[in-house]
Amino acid sequence: MFFVRSLRLMIRALTAESSHKQIAVGIALGMIVGLVPKGNLLAFVLLMSFSSLRISLPAVFFSAFAFSWVAMLIDPVTHWVGEAVLTQSSLVPFWTWLYDHPLVPWTQFNNTIVMGSLLIGIGACYPLYRVALHLVEKYEPAVSTRVKKMRLSKWLFGAEWLGRVRSAV
């Protein structure tokens, strides 16, 4: 049943009734979540705050999944960026002041890879949004039409309908 739900979610993402801008923003913000290492408060807060926006959540989740793999490849670059920012002598008092607050250490901002990933994600967010918007506007109608015609998607949406009928009885 988990497999069927996952496939249904993927097909809904491809045929969603979201606007092109909502899908592109979802891809761009999902990139930030994907680049930031998981297991800290920062990743959780980013995901929860993005989930509260009116954007395509399937696009956020698929983009976060894809960019989690990219994050492993660019770890040396994120380490270099994070180290450059965290060891900047003029910013050391600010980082110390920030670290002294109760919840902030749980964000692990003082980790060079976390800081570098966050900064690279924020810096790449708008360019990725522009590229994603162009690609979504160009390819989404054709992909959506093709996916809706596939037997698998018809079967999955039929399984969803059947599940709703059975739960109502």
Nearest Cα to Cα of residue 87 among 110, 117, 119: 110
Tens digit of each residue's pLDDT (9 = 90 or more) over 136-165: 888 877 776 776 677 766 666 665 544 554
Q: Using an 8 Å Cβ cutoff, are 64 and 33 in contact?
A: yes
pTM value > 0.85: no
- Give residue 20's pLDDT band: very low, low, confident or very high (50, 70, 90): confident
Farthest-apart Cα atoms in the chain, separation: 67
Domain boundaries, the chain: 2-168
**HSE, side-chain direction, 13 A CA sphere, residue 113:** 14
- Which strand (E) or helix (H) includes residue 120? helix 112-149
